Amino acid sequence: MSGYFLLEEKQMQPFKPNGFPPNPVRMGFLDYMRELRQETFPFPEGHKLLVVGLEEVLISAGDQLPEVEAFVHDTLARKANELNSYRIGVQIVFRRSLKSAQDFWFELGGGRSISLRLIFDSPPLKSDLAGNEYYFVGFNLT
């Protein structure tokens, strides 16, 4: 299944013994975005990535959050066909709790949150046979 596996760090090994195993190549979100913007597709076929830091990028965006989210969405969507055809595996890991209802967001605490809907829409919560929870979004982000 090609797409983005959006999951909380606590659903992964070693935090949860029967959790999701982390993909072998760890990359910061800004590095991932930079790689996707290369003229030549940067990843070999079947590459497995674990991407961290999206939360920090969005928190740092401050008043520019809508523009940053639109840029992220457009960059990810532009590379969807290549990510699919190269069968790239991407885990996007969050340290904070992910929630979904009419919206999709992560909580900052103190009753504050940041919506992820402009990037990933509002995927349903899923779980695997071991009870590990995740959200899945296809590379085309629809």
d(CA 74, CA 78): 6
- By the 8 A CB rule, do 49 and 22 touch? no
Report CA 62 to chain centroid distance, whole Å: 20
What string of pLDDT tens digits covers the 142 residues of the chain? 689 999 999 999 999 999 999 999 999 999 999 999 999 999 999 999 999 999 999 999 999 999 999 999 999 999 999 999 999 999 999 999 999 988 999 999 888 999 999 999 999 999 999 999 999 999 998 6
Q: Is residue 142 part of a domain?
A: no
What pLDDT shows up at residue 96? Answer: 95
- Count structural domains, the chain: 1
Q: Could you tell me the residue range of the domain that residue 19 belongs to?
A: 3-137
Positive or negative, the CA dihedral 16, 18, 22, 24 is positive
Q: Is residue 53 part of a domain?
A: yes
Q: Are strands 98-100 and 25-28 parallel, antiparallel or unpaired?
A: unpaired
Q: CB 99: neighbour CB atoms within 10 A?
A: 14
What pLDDT shows up at residue 110? Answer: 87
